[in-house]
Amino acid sequence: MKPNFSAIHHIAIIANNYDTARHFYVDILGLKIIRENNRSDKGDIKLDLQLNADTEIELFIKPDAPNRTSNPEALGLRHLALKTTNIEADIDYLINQGVKVEPLRVDDFTGKKMVFFWDPNNLPIELHE
């Protein structure tokens, strides 16, 4: 029998600076805080953020987390991709917020517009129409 997977419940991201990470994910990206927990036993703060009706982002702020070893070509999660309906407007918004955004391009396989930008800890995030 096959599993009954229906959707991605959450995506976990580690950051190292509370103020910078909170500003980026809450103020710039507009994700709503569902819960915030200071986990002193683990040495981090965990923010549960609402991405959409079905998906959350668990944002762990851990000051002593090691840096990514490469960008983005390392084992494990390569990048986070978000779907958008107006990529040009989103690119303009991100640039106006001081976010590093690469030039707009077209996906070779889908023919859809796409672009990468980076969170404060250099996690690549893709926007895809």
- Please check whether residues 78 and 28 belong to one and the same domain: no
Number of domains, the chain: 2
Among 66, 96, 118, identify where a domain stops: 66
Q: Cα angle vertex 59, ends 56, 60, to 5°? A: 145
Q: What are the CA-CA distances from residue 55 to residues 32, 84, 93 (Å)?
A: 12, 15, 23
- Please check whether residues 62 and 73 belong to one and the same domain: no
Q: Residue 75: its pLDDT value, please?
A: 67
Mean per-residue pLDDT over the chain, rounded: 92
Residues 6+ away with beta carbon under 8 Å from 119? 13, 15, 21, 24, 25, 125
Q: Residue 7: its pLDDT value, please?
A: 84
R_g over Cα of the chain: 16
Is residue 69 predicted with pLDDT exceeding 80? no
- Please check whether residues 114 and 78 belong to one and the same domain: yes
Question: Is the model's pTM score more than 0.95?
Answer: no
Rounded mean pLDDT, 52-66: 93
